[in-house]
């Protein structure tokens, strides 16, 4: 039996339609890029300035977001060299003036200082489908860095599955169990834990938005 390829401990690489392609295509992003872009246009309707995407993966969300938000400068980032290469290819293909060169960024590093030097205070930090497939320290680094990097009134937007105290979706519970079997440090995060972590860094939950397939968008404001 062939052993699975080793995975980056900070991020699980999704299955791609063609891993040899220059522009990688994640099937999940094909399904959720539209609803996510629509959500972001509502949340950031009056915003202009830099948005940092953490854990941008192959770059599909970056293109969709930059297209939907022309007044936002979308800055994709990821720790994976393969993803950074794909993001650059998507950026070249899309030709969007407001889609910036990707940054190599590990959420567990002190990334806020480097971001501030390059782009100044951020208007938003966006992260989709990362904190459940990473150790909790990644969520801690993401939230702490966002609190430092955001300007006054800036927003941290997290998208993905979360476990709620009342009426947790059976599919999310099953997904949580499967993640724990793969890595005990992974798992669908309790919503209360994420809200408490944000509050430690003076980020208040502004909106909870229901998304397709039992996902949520959580909007925190500085």
* Structural tokens at position 212: 């397709």
pLDDT (0 to 100) of residue 10? 34
The pLDDT value given to residue 120: 84
CATH of 27-221, picked from 3.30.465.10, 3.30.360.10, 3.40.50.150, 3.40.50.2300, is: 3.40.50.150
Phi, psi of 35 (to 5 degrees): -60, -35
Q: CA gyration radius for the chain?
A: 16
Tell me the domain boundaries of the chain: 27-221
List, in sequence order, every residue forming a beta bridge with 59; answer none if it has no partner. Answer: none
Tell me what pLDDT residue 188 has: 97
Residue 7 pLDDT exceeds 50: no
Task: Identify the pLDDT of residue 1.
Answer: 34
Dihedrals φ, ψ of 14, to 5°?
Answer: -70, 165
């Amino acid at each position: 039996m062939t052993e699975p390829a080793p995975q980056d401990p900070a991020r699980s690489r999704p299955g791609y339609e063609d891993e040899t392609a220059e522009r990688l295509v994640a099937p999940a992003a094909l399904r959720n890029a539209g609803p996510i872009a629509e959500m972001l246009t509502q949340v950031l309707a009056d915003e202009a300035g830099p948005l940092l995407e953490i854990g941008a993966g192959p770059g599909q969300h970056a293109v969709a977001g930059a297209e939907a938000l022309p007044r936002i400068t979308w800055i994709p980032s990821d720790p994976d060299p393969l993803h950074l290469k794909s993001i650059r290819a998507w950026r070249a293909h899309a030709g969007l003036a407001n889609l910036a060169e990707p940054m190599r960024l590990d959420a567990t590093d002190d990334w806020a200082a480097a971001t501030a030097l390059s782009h100044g205070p951020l208007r938003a930090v966006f992260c989709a489908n990362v904190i459940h497939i990473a150790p909790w320290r990644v969520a801690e680094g993401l939230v702490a860095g966002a609190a430092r990097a955001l300007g006054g009134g800036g927003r941290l937007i997290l998208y993905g599955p979360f476990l709620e105290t009342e009426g947790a979706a059976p599919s999310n519970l099953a997904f949580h169990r499967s993640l724990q079997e793969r890595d005990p440090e992974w798992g669908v995060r309790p919503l209360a834990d994420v809200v408490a972590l944000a509050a430690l860094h003076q980020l208040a939950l502004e909106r909870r938005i229901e998304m397709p397939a039992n996902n949520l968008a959580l909007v925190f404001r500085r």
